Amino acid sequence: MKDRGLLIVLSGPSGVGKGTVRKAIFDNYSNDFDYSISMTTRKKREGEKEGVDYFFRTKEEFEKLIEEGGLLEYAEYVGNYYGTPLDYVNKTLDSGRDVFLEIEVQGALKVRGKMPEAIFIFLSPPNLDELESRIVNRGTDSDEMIQKRMKKAVEELKLIQYYDYVVQNDTVVNAARKIRNIIESEHLKVVRNLKDFTEIIEEME
Task: Summarize as ranges the residues that interact with its own copies (CB under 8 A).
Answer: 122, 124, 128-129, 131-132, 150, 153-154, 157-158, 160-161, 163-167, 178, 181-182, 184-186, 188-190, 193-194, 196-197, 200-201, 203-205
CA distance linking residue 33 with residue 98, whole number of Å:
4
Cβ neighbours for 166, distance < 8 A, ≥ 6 positions apart: 121, 122, 124, 160
In this structure, are residues 73 and 83 in contact, taking their beta carbons and an 8 Å threshold? yes
Task: CB nearer to its own copies: give 78 or 204.
Answer: 204
**Residue 38 assigned as binding residue:** no
CA distance linking residue 187 with residue 84, whole number of Å:
24
In this structure, are residues 6 and 186 in contact, taking their beta carbons and an 8 Å threshold? yes
Task: CB nearer to its own copies: give 12 or 83.
Answer: 12
Using alpha carbons, list the distances in angstroms from residue 181 to 28, 35, 129, 193, 205: 13, 17, 25, 17, 35
Taking the complex as a whole, the smallest distance from the CB of residue 62 to its own copies amounts, in Å, to 33
Taking the complex as a whole, the smallest distance from the CB of residue 75 to its own copies amounts, in Å, to 24
Taking the complex as a whole, the smallest distance from the CB of residue 78 to its own copies amounts, in Å, to 31
Task: CB nearer to its own copies: give 91 or 152.
Answer: 152
Task: CB nearer to its own copies: give 54 or 165.
Answer: 165
Alpha-carbon dihedral angle through residues 139, 144, 149, 151, given to the nearest 10 degrees? 140
**Residue 13 assigned as binding residue:** yes
Taking the complex as a whole, the smallest distance from the CB of residue 93 to its own copies amounts, in Å, to 21
**Residue 126 assigned as binding residue:** no
Taking the complex as a whole, the smallest distance from the CB of residue 146 to its own copies amounts, in Å, to 11
C-alpha 74, offset from chain centre: 13
Coil, strand, or helix at residue 45? coil
**Residue 19 assigned as binding residue:** yes
**Residue 17 assigned as binding residue:** yes
Task: CB nearer to its own copies: give 129 or 143.
Answer: 129
**Residue 36 assigned as binding residue:** no
Residues flagged as binding site for ATP:
12-19
